[in-house]
Amino acid sequence: MHRRTSAATVCLYAALALGTLVMLVPLAWMLLTSLKTYPEILRNPPDWLPAAPQWQNYRTVWEGFAYYRYFLNSLFVAVMVIAGTVLTCCPAAYAFAYYEVRHKELIFGALLCTLMLPAQVTVIPLFKAFSALHWVNTYLPLIVPAWLGGNVFGIFLLRQFFRTIPPSFIEAARLDGASEWTILWRLVVPMSLPAVLTVVIFTFLWSWNDLFNPLVYLQSEELCTLPVGLLYFIARAEQLTGGSLGQTPWHLVMTLATIMVLPVVGLFAVFQRYFVEGVAASGVKG
Amino acid sequence: MPLRQREPLLWLTVVLLAVTGFWWAGRSREPRPAPGRTVISWYVITSPLRDLYTAEVAAFEKLHPGTEVRIFWVPGSEYNVKLKTLAAAHQLPDLFFSGDVWLSYLRPFSRDLTPLVQRDAAEFGLDDYFPAIRRAMQLDGKDYILPEYLNLSLLYYNRRMFAAAGLSEPAADWTWDDLVRAGQALTREGKDGSPPVWGCSRVEGWWGEWLIYVRQAGGKAFSPDGRRCLLDSPAAITGLKFYLEKSSRYHLSAPAGFEPLNGFVNQRVAMIVGGHVNYWLNYNQTPGLDWDVQLLPAGPASRSGGELAIAGYSISRESRHPEEAWALAKFLTRPEAIAAIVARGSLSVRRSVAEAALRQPGPRANPHNLAAAYRQFEFGEPIPHHPNYVEIMFLVVQPEIDRMLLGELSPAEAGRRAAAAANAFLDTFGSAAP
Amino acid sequence: MTNRRAQSLWFWLFAGPAVAGFAAFSLWPMLESLWLSFCQYEVVTPPRFIGVQNYAYLFAHDASFWPSVKVTLVFTVIQLPLAIGAALALALLLNQPVRGRGFWRAVYFLPSILPQAVFAVVFGYIFQADGGLLNRLLALGGLHGAAWTTSPTWALPVLIGISLWGFGYPMVIFLGGLQNVPRELYEAAHIDGAGAWARFRHVTLPLISPVIFFNVVMGVIGALKVFDLAYAFSVAQAQPAPGGPARATLFYGLNLYQQAFGYFHMGLASAMAWLLFACILLITAVNFRVGRRWVHYGD
């Protein structure tokens, strides 16, 4: 490697640090605001730090306004979606990786095309069908597609990974008399845990962050997931606080936003490698 | 060989968990009756009256032991979209909160209450409703709503700010000119770095305020048959122009986009034209806010033109328990129930309750000039009962008004463009409207 | 396993659910929405065939269709080059032997995995004209900030700015691409006397062009389906109807949602959905055609 001048190095790190500041200021402001009192958020010019961190804001939002319920709803949907994704994407990826069937590539290509399809394109007929089934205002429209291989990206990613497993492993297992089902769950999936984990993480992200589908399919407040709950919170904040505050209680809104963000940040902190690998893998073969 | 190992127990657990999950996910949220009981569902906007409604339902269930009520709360901002979605999915609750503005498009899903209203008129006191309310209740001579409360456009003002500026309080014979003069005297544009204070608020993004001026200038939003948008008439344009010039020429309102949030509550705005009766509760809970109401200032053509809108209860056309839902609707709108709502700070749809409130001796909570509010009934006009009214206003008309406020269009251009777009919409969809 | 029949059986057993899901949740809705786009369908009554009237209305009369197309186009044309440029620049920086690369990468990537709704809300608060952080800071410097979120002039630029925080996805994809560029090529170019720019222009750029191409395609499609961000932004600004002020943030996807679920013009919205679908097909096709000309695939 060539030695770079120290000036260039300083510039590089300065640029990176400045960029970091820009990236993190909104999140920092969110966190700081969530720890302030109502009079503090109105102060002009603004105080950066709260005089004393108001941790009870979190209790107010969580218990007082029963947002633990929305949290649990979000969690329930995410868990069901992840379970469905793993249970249907793994076999599908295995099938596309190891079996030779006529038109297999064509079918796979068709599946991949749906990655390009925005939800808005299919939502109207789906809404019509789910209404006819009386599934509107239940979680089924959010969950059932995942149980039918709805996560095509997952199938794609797993198939790529499965293909790196030497076929001799699988043939050996077959000779031992293991069934295909056993080979899939006892051999292939355990060998592909990083890929499975990546799929789980991304499925969680999509489910946790999704605003569009819950907005369309869930009507009553008790069913809502967090992103919808956040918007409802803003819309009815005046009422929640008994109308005693003149402005939107942004400190509480930011508290809720922080609660929503925390699981994602936590997962990211632990599994950063899988996040990055998942994204990079999606770019490998456009 | 580990590969031969089967794990039936593991897979059984997975299947059981999945089944439980699906059961929970698909569990019908519709009420299921206990044996021998009827369950009715009621969708209501999450509001500060939540505790009141909960108590009312408990009282109702005590009175009707065979009926159980399940309340579903829906936030106000999403309410009408949610309700329509449920209607589309044939999952409307038995009883739902409705209003004359929404009714025009909720009508296909709402039960015609005329026979029930006629049958029980004496029992629930149909005559007790103000005539203006009675008119707003009906669509083509049929009843779809049992009203619970109303909104009426009024002139709201901050008494302390008027006193501090040495101004006499707004009078019943005020005109636009008086509004401008007082508003200018109250405005402080905060050059010294302190936040500006404005004489009059301006409602942006919906028709709440500008439609008043249009009507007071002699204009109309729609022709009486609802087939033509008339915002391009000279009178309507005069109204739009006044709405614009409140900031651009007279400087009594904030420039577009700078309206202080909840300025009236924060005492950074001295007057509101229009407003909403719903906020009274909010105002009265704000310490140090001394406010009152007056008749709307008169425009060049008339004093009439403020909004008079009602909200109340409708029953789903598909309800299997219309009688129970009707009983609940009557219960929720009986004089005692209305009185309880009015006591929190509101206007009454019932004459008996209004008269009792006006007769009440001693110092009254704000607004002191309650009589003016009830007098304003004469000058209120219902919103056009057109099925596409809300969407035409939001989707087609409002963006042109917004652009006018920003100086991109003159009032005449805005009126012309809004009318042209609205008429194109009416030509395509208007005829098909149910 | 050599038995073809057994293979086929297992294939359908394993891939069957996914294929059924594809048929039920993608293929069939596409076809049904094509049919609905030729119907008047307002949910209350069954769909009624009206020919191409929905399309004609969209093109000739609808007051919100063209504005929403314009908003989406402006967003794409401005946001995409900025996002891709920033992503590439950072990927190049991080591809240098910097210390703590994992940390920097994490910091720049993190915002793009957070819920868009949260971003719209947090930024909406920061950009508020009256009492927002930005304008208060500007006021400290004696400047009078604009009505960022409530003026049609500024609302879209603000949304573009917000969405730029999500450039982490293309950045990570670029990083992956850059790491596939063989070191020896740089060494060779360096020995040939190529400067930093020449090395970038003649070594890096051709080799990562497939990755750029992929990011452009995904970026365009991403712009066409913007919803969460714009919707949450509208709610956070307490706009009476989403997409304001004055349709300045009425993205195509938001407009479609509004037509379908705000006003129940399901037929009209289906026509919009099909135009969107056609658009995506077209863009993908054009991209591949153009891509073939300037994208340098290794082999």
Cα–Cα distances (Å) from B380 to B153, B211, B310, in that order, read 7, 12, 11
Cα–Cα distances (Å) from C122 to A6, A25, A254, C126, in that order, read 38, 11, 7, 6
pLDDT of residue C231 exceeding 80, the answer is yes
Considering only CB atoms, which chain A residues are within 8 Å of C111? 23, 26-27
Evaluate whether residue A167 is within a structural domain: yes
Reported as a pLDDT band with limits 50, 70 and 90, residue C195 is: confident
Comparing B236 with A116, the larger pLDDT belongs to B236
Phi-psi region of B299 (alpha: psi -120 to 50; beta: other; left: phi over 0): beta
Contacts of B106 (CB under 8 A, 6+ apart): B80, B83, B84, B87, B98, B314
**Hey, is the C-beta of A222 within 8 angstroms of any chain B C-beta?**
yes
Decide if B261 and A247 are in contact by the 8 Å CB cutoff: yes
Peptide bond into A45 cis (omega under 30): yes
Homologous superfamily in CATH for domain C66-294: MetI-like (1.10.3720.10)
**Quick one: DSSP state of residue B321?**
-
Comparing C140 with B404, the larger pLDDT belongs to B404
Considering only CB atoms, which chain B residues are within 8 Å of C239? 205
Q: How far is B401 from chain A (nearest CA, A)?
A: 24
Chain C interface disruption, residue of A43, A124, A169, A174, most C CBs within 10 A: A124
pLDDT of residue C299 exceeding 50, the answer is no
Decide if C110 and A265 are in contact by the 8 Å CB cutoff: yes
Averaged pLDDT for residues B337-344: 88
pLDDT for B191 equals: 65
Reported as a pLDDT band with limits 50, 70 and 90, residue B3 is: low
- The closest CB to that of A88, out of C18, C27, C131, belongs to C18
Decide if C129 and B255 are in contact by the 8 Å CB cutoff: no
Please give the Cα distance from C292 to C103 (Å, whole number): 36
Nearest residue on chain C to B190, alpha-carbon basis: C144
Averaged pLDDT for residues B154-168: 94
Decide if A145 and C136 are in contact by the 8 Å CB cutoff: no
pLDDT tens-digit series, residues B361-376: 766 678 888 889 999 9
pLDDT for B349 equals: 92
Decide if A130 and B89 are in contact by the 8 Å CB cutoff: yes
pLDDT for A1 equals: 45
pLDDT of residue B32 exceeding 80, the answer is no
Decide if A13 and C102 are in contact by the 8 Å CB cutoff: no
Considering only CB atoms, which chain B residues are within 8 Å of C151? 256-257, 406
Evaluate whether residue A29 is within a structural domain: no
Decide if C32 and A120 are in contact by the 8 Å CB cutoff: no
Look at chain A and report how many structural domains it folds into: 1
Task: Supply the angle between the helices B234-248 and B398-405 in degrees, to the nearest 10.
Answer: 40
CATH code of the domain in which A78 resides = 1.10.3720.10
**Hey, is the C-beta of A143 within 8 angstroms of any chain B C-beta?**
yes
pLDDT for A82 equals: 96
Chain A interface disruption, residue of C26, C36, C92, C288, most A CBs within 10 A: C26
At residue B74, the 3 state secondary structure works out as strand
**Hey, is the C-beta of A33 within 8 angstroms of any chain C C-beta?**
yes
SS (H, E, C) chain A: CCCCCHHHHHHHHHHHHHHHHHHHHHHHHHHHHHCCCHHHHHCCCCCCCCCCCCCHHHHHHHHHCCHHHHHHHHHHHHHHHHHHHHHHHHHHHHHHHHCCCCCHHHHHHHHHHHHHCCHHHHHHHHHHHHHHCCCCCCCHHHHHHHHCCCCHHHHHHHHHHHCCCCHHHHHHHHHCCCCHHHHHHHHHHHHCHHHHHHHHHHHHHHHHHCCHHHHHHCCCHHHCCHHHHHHHHHHCHHHHCCCCCCCCCHHHHHHHHHHHHHHHHHHHHHHHHHHHHHHHHHHHCC
Considering only CB atoms, which chain A residues are within 8 Å of B73? 220-222
pLDDT for A124 equals: 92
Lowest mean pLDDT among B26-30, B343-347, C225-229: B26-30
pLDDT of residue C60 exceeding 70, the answer is yes
Q: How far is B424 from chain C (nearest CA, A)?
A: 6
Considering only CB atoms, which chain C residues are within 8 Å of A24? 107
pLDDT of residue A188 exceeding 80, the answer is yes
pLDDT for A241 equals: 57
pLDDT of residue B80 exceeding 60, the answer is yes
Cα–Cα distances (Å) from C210 to A157, C204, C205, C222, in that order, read 19, 11, 9, 18
The answer to whether A89 and A154 are in contact (CB under 8 A) is yes
SS3 content of chain B, % helix, strand, coil (to 5): 45, 15, 35
Nearest residue on chain B to A86, alpha-carbon basis: B14
- Tell me which residue of B238, B216, B222, B231 sits closest to B383, measured CA to CA: B222
* Geometric angle at alpha carbon A250, from A218 and B287, rounded to 5°: 115
Subunits next to C (3 or more Cβ pairs <8 Å) are: A, B
Chain B interface disruption, residue of A67, A138, A231, A233, most B CBs within 10 A: A138
Nearest residue on chain A to B91, alpha-carbon basis: A134
Considering only CB atoms, which chain C residues are within 8 Å of A281? 176
Size of interface B-C (CB pairs under 8 A): 97
Q: Look up tokens 């009386």; give the residue.
A: A134
Considering only CB atoms, which chain B residues are within 8 Å of A244? 285-286
pLDDT tens-digit series, residues A30-77: 999 999 988 888 776 778 889 889 999 999 889 878 889 999 999 999
Output the DSSP codes for B104-167. HHHGGGB---HHHHHHHHHHHTGGGB-HHHHHHHEETTEE--EEEEEEE-EEEEEHHHHHHTTP
The bridge status of strand B38-45 relative to strand B67-74 is parallel
Considering only CB atoms, which chain A residues are within 8 Å of C109? 275-276, 279
Averaged pLDDT of chain C: 86
Size of interface A-B (CB pairs under 8 A): 121
Q: How far is C88 from chain B (nearest CA, A)?
A: 36
Evaluate whether residue A219 is within a structural domain: yes
Q: Which two tokens stand for residue C183?
A: 């070191």
Reported as a pLDDT band with limits 50, 70 and 90, residue C228 is: very high
Please give the Cα distance from B349 to B222 (Å, whole number): 26
Considering only CB atoms, which chain B residues are within 8 Å of C61? 421, 424-425, 427-428
Decide if C67 and B399 are in contact by the 8 Å CB cutoff: yes
Exposed (0-12), middle (13-18) or buried (19+): which is A160, by Cβ within 10 Å?
middle
**Quick one: DSSP state of residue B277?**
G
pLDDT tens-digit series, residues A244-280: 455 678 889 999 999 999 999 999 999 888 888 777 7
Q: How far is C234 from chain A (nearest CA, A)?
A: 10
Evaluate whether residue A55 is within a structural domain: no
Subunits next to B (3 or more Cβ pairs <8 Å) are: A, C
What's the domain range around A186? 66-284
Considering only CB atoms, which chain B residues are within 8 Å of C238? 77
The answer to whether B226 and B385 are in contact (CB under 8 A) is yes
Q: How far is B130 from chain C (nearest CA, A)?
A: 30
Considering only CB atoms, which chain A residues are within 8 Å of B76? 235-236
Q: Which two tokens stand for residue C123?
A: 């930024």
Reported as a pLDDT band with limits 50, 70 and 90, residue C189 is: confident
pLDDT tens-digit series, residues B203-255: 888 888 999 999 999 999 988 878 889 999 999 999 999 999 999 999 999 88
Chain C interface disruption, residue of A121, A264, A267, most C CBs within 10 A: A121
pLDDT of residue B434 exceeding 50, the answer is no
Chain B interface disruption, residue of C61, C138, C144, most B CBs within 10 A: C61
Evaluate whether residue A23 is within a structural domain: no
Evaluate whether residue A212 is within a structural domain: yes
pLDDT of residue B433 exceeding 60, the answer is no
Contacts of C271 (CB under 8 A, 6+ apart): C37, C38, C54, C55, C58
What sign results for the dihedral spanned by CA atoms A57, A60, A65, A70?
positive
Considering only CB atoms, which chain C residues are within 8 Å of A155? 18
Percentage, residues of chain A above pLDDT 70: 92
Averaged pLDDT for residues B162-187: 94
Q: How far is B42 from chain A (nearest CA, A)?
A: 11
Decide if B396 and C64 are in contact by the 8 Å CB cutoff: yes
Measured in whole angstroms, the distance separating CA A232 from the mean position of its chain's CA atoms is 20
Evaluate whether residue A16 is within a structural domain: no
pTM for the structure as a whole? 0.88
Comparing B149 with A158, the larger pLDDT belongs to A158
- Tell me which residue of B283, B255, B242 sits closest to B196, measured CA to CA: B255
pLDDT for B430 equals: 62
- The closest CB to that of B74, out of A143, A187, A220, belongs to A220
pLDDT for A243 equals: 47
Considering only CB atoms, which chain C residues are within 8 Å of A45? 136-137, 139-140
Decide if B399 and C53 are in contact by the 8 Å CB cutoff: no
pLDDT for C297 equals: 55
Contacts of B82 (CB under 8 A, 6+ apart): A219, A220, B43, B74
Averaged pLDDT for residues A210-236: 88
Q: How far is B420 from chain C (nearest CA, A)?
A: 9
Domains of chain B, with CATH numbers? 38-152+309-380 (3.40.190.10), 154-304+387-432 (3.40.190.10)
pLDDT of residue A114 exceeding 90, the answer is no
Considering only CB atoms, which chain A residues are within 8 Å of B366? none
Chain B interface disruption, residue of C42, C156, C249, most B CBs within 10 A: C42
Percentage, residues of chain B above pLDDT 90: 42
pLDDT tens-digit series, residues B288-322: 889 999 999 999 999 998 989 888 899 999 899 99
- The closest CB to that of A12, out of C96, C114, C126, belongs to C96
- The closest CB to that of B75, out of A142, A187, A236, belongs to A236
Q: Look up tokens 């699988």; give the residue.
A: A170
